[in-house]
Structure 1
Amino acid sequence: MRLHHYGLEVANLEESIEFYTDLLCLELESRHSFLGEEIAFLASSHFRLELVCHPHSTNSAHLCFEVSDLQHVIDTLGSNQIAEGPYKLDNGWETVFYEGPNHELIEFLQTS
């Protein structure tokens, strides 16, 4: 398992893309629409930031860990604490979100 990205909820996607590409010299890696949300991934060689557009953003964030076998994670952690998913994304990735003890979101993502 390795850190895949840090996700940040934003109110204005275009403004946020411009801000983080200028501030951190990140490049726009990809854009997606999923469950009515507009999402952008910005990346460098060592860091990836996911921006999720919510017009009424609460500035929430999540950590995402890349795993080789998502079903094994679900089997190990169980389904009682799943906050969202599992989902299969249009790019083939599979993901599930768990709720941590402080109501934080932890995403597990299988990219292959």
Structure 2
Amino acid sequence: MFHHAGIAVRDPERSVRFYREALGFREAGRWTLGGETIVFLERDDVRLELVSPADRPPSDSFHLAFATADVEGDAKRLVRAGAVLREGPRALENGWILAFLQGPDGEWIELLCTER
């Protein structure tokens, strides 16, 4: 069973603020392990682990996907919080609408609406 996704971040405070303000996460725990600061964030049944220091950049293929009924509105909210819109919003052939953004540490964030 899936538990969480972990991402490397350069500035944990900036990332906590971004995910709290832009996506409604709350901090669920914080500790130091092996010289790294680890912060767990939660929203509903979704957990993110922010790991700092980030010795390597995030992978271009890894992304966090969030379901939403309002891709355009949520994309605007993320941009106001510091994300960079990279693609979309656009409709796919199957009717889904999506957008791709990059968060404060270059992590890819997908917003997806599968409702028709």
TM-score normalised to the size of structure 2? 0.48
Q: Which has more strand, going by share of residues?
A: 1
